[in-house]
Amino acid sequence: MAKDYAQGSVDRDKRLAELLSCPPELQCDAVERLVRQTKLQTKSLKMLRRLMAPLVAKDLRDQLGNANRSSASRYVAYHCEDGDVSFASGIASELVRLMDGVSADWVGAISAGTKAEGGQLVIVGSSIETINVALSRIALVVGDYKGGFVRGLWQGKVSSFSKIAGVILG
């Protein structure tokens, strides 16, 4: 861990030195250009995630298979290390739409965030009862979480994904 921190620090120093290697009168312009580029990249990433969410949801639906074939509960999970709440919610909403009309029980858990720092967790399912059962099982493993039901899905924040790696990240 100390080695990673030191390497990250050296990398930041190198990037900063490159950025400020121009004459002092041009440094403000270089920083402004970097800020503009970062904003554009962030905007592009959000748009790509918005386009990717339905594809991920279709993949999750395919993993569920034909849930009508059996009375057993089906469970799928998806984790995105660098995702955000809008990405997780987009996947969850699309999965609910795709699974509309399926009579068998199913649950989907979508999470976004780093293992160490935790992040967003969205749980969707065929009914509030199946979501509650999945949430109670996840709560046994994770312990510390906050959230609640919003429009038929459970949305919240988990302090760490390291404890539930096998459950969600698996």
Q: Which of 7-11, 94-98, 102-106, 159-163 has the highest mean pLDDT?
A: 94-98
| 110 three-class SS | strand
Dig out the tokens for 57 from the structure: 């949801």
Reported as a pLDDT band with limits 50, 70 and 90, residue 6 is: low
Please tell me the predicted confidence (pLDDT) of residue 91.
Answer: 94
Please tell me the predicted confidence (pLDDT) of residue 170.
Answer: 42
pLDDT tens, 129-157? 989 888 888 878 776 788 888 888 899 99
Place of tokens 């699974």: 99
pTM beyond cutoff 0.85:
no
pLDDT tens, 27-68? 788 888 888 888 888 888 888 888 999 999 999 998 887 545
> Residue 76's Cα: distance from chain center in Å?
14
